[in-house]
Structure 1
Amino acid sequence: MAKPNYNYEKRAREIEKQKKKEEKRLKKQAAKENKDPEDSTESQE
């Protein structure tokens, strides 16, 4: 019986965490960008 490759499994989990973190960061950034133009137009007037 083959040994489980724990290093591969750990790396796969780390990559998945990084992807989720990046997606969350991009989502927050997009929400912030959508909100900023409204705020900047109000402050300019």
Structure 2
Amino acid sequence: MSTEDVTLAKPNYSFEKRQRELAKKQKKEEKLRRKTLPGEAPEDDEAAEPDAAATDAAPEGDTA
């Protein structure tokens, strides 16, 4: 069997592009939904607050 007989599968770029577009759309809708619901606190903000306090305290501990 020669190398001329072997054909490789081509990547399906249109499928990959469609998947990326769907992921972007879903992420955008989720972000919009979180902004429009005033009663719910976003989970990311709650997680960011302790990290910010920890980073502020670290330089003070180093200088003391």
* The two structures share one fold, judged by TM-score above 0.5: yes
Q: Are 1:21 and 2:20 an aligned pair?
A: no
TM-score relative to the length of structure 2 = 0.48
What letter is aligned with 2:22? I
Identity in percent: 53
Structure 1 runs of 4+ off > 3 angstroms? none
Relative contact order (C-alpha < 8 Å, sep 6+): which is higher?
2
TM-score relative to the length of structure 1 = 0.67
- Higher-Rg member (1/2): 2
In structure 2, stretches of 5+ residues that fail to align are: 1-7, 40-64
Instruction: Give aligned pairs, total.
Output: 32
RMSD: 0.7
